Amino acid sequence: MNNDILSIAKKTIDLESNAIANLAKLIDSNFENAIKCILKTKGRVIITGIGKSAAIATKIVATLNSTGTPSIFMHAADAIHGDLGIIQQDDVVICISKSGNTPEIKVLIPLIKRNNNPIIAITGNVDSFLGTQATYTLNAYVEKEACPNNLAPTTSTTAQLVMGDAIAVCLLELNQFTSKDFAKYHPGGALGKRLYLRVRDLVEKNEIPQVNADTNIKETLLEISNKRLGATAVLDNNKLVGFITDGDIRRMLNKNDDFINLTAKDIMSVSPKIIDIDAMAIEAMQTMENNNISQLIAVDNNGNYKGIIHIHDLIKEGIF
């Protein structure tokens, strides 16, 4: 039974991957002209479909909105019962349908054309009603569904989804949509924080542990413990001269039976890893990973000590 399960899964993936690979051969001037049409429109992209194609349409809408192309989903069945008012004068309509001949599509397309809105079809049948009536027809043909009965939309909906991704990425690149632009649309969650959160945003929430170079070990240990960052900066005349972590304290205890007369300068690291306070938090994460450390000293443009960023700060924000 287990072998049957694995065999079915692998066969499904092979079928769909082959169908996707074949899509590249179907891309032609219609695709290019469709992209140019969307680029020059002053309106939005309205994406419609019915059944499983409607579910794919909602995902493509989400992708376009998140990459800078304003888009709205309109269910094909609801459109002919009042929702047609969603479409405004300057909008472009993308209609998704495997067969291109469903009754709802046949009713909807003439209504859209009446208002002269460009129609971009994504269909598996370019000779269908939709395929022949659309302004631009994108061929999403698949030879067969992954479903053994060749009925349940599987391979065909995957092809539709990939065609939508191809549209979105073309628009993204041609509009020179950057990671900074992406951050504007993704302010929440770990993804957004990776794009906009800076070291300053995290350091300013923390205590600022610091001791002088001549501070004794007991006071140094208390500073590390009280500020709860597992480390402290060492200053001399307000200038950063070193760094002490709780690991340094442990190593000092292992090496010295008599440490009562030691001071901060005796155990500090003199070349600690630092990061600009205005650097992106993701840079801090990468530096910690590359150096297998848990803290970084944050400094300003003049090298002045501003605080410590800890790996736990990054974990708390969902970045690490």
In a domain, 187, yes or no: no
- 164 and 290 assigned to the same domain: no
Structural domains in the chain (count): 2
Helix, strand, coil content of the chain in percent (nearest 5):
50, 20, 30
Residues constituting the chain: 320
- 117 and 251 assigned to the same domain: no
- 153 and 8 assigned to the same domain: yes
- Gyration radius of the chain over CA positions: 30
By the 10 Å C-beta count (0-12 exposed, 13-18 middle, 19+ buried), 45 is classed as buried
- 156 and 30 assigned to the same domain: yes
- Mean pLDDT, the chain, whole residue set: 92
In a domain, 299, yes or no: yes
Write down the pLDDT at residue 256.
77
Choose among 111, 134, 123: nearest CA to 34. Answer: 134
- 141 and 102 assigned to the same domain: yes
pLDDT reading at 201 higher than 80 = yes
In a domain, 184, yes or no: no
- 114 and 20 assigned to the same domain: yes
Choose among 144, 121, 140: nearest CA to 12. Answer: 144
Quick one: tokens of 72? Answer: 């709205």
Pairing relation of β-strands 231-236 and 239-245? antiparallel
- 252 and 134 assigned to the same domain: no
In a domain, 190, yes or no: no
Taking the model in full, what pTM does it have?
A: 0.70
pLDDT reading at 261 higher than 90 = no
Domain that holds residue 152: 2-177
- 246 and 136 assigned to the same domain: no
Is the backbone of residue 102 left (phi > 0), alpha (psi -120 to 50) or beta? beta
The CATH number that applies at residue 308 is 3.10.580.10
Write down the pLDDT at residue 89.
93
Find out whether 186 is annotated in a ligand binding site.
no
Do 277 and 203 touch, CB atoms closer than 8 A?
yes
257 falls in which pLDDT band (50, 70, 90)? confident
Choose among 305, 172, 283: nearest CA to 233. Answer: 305
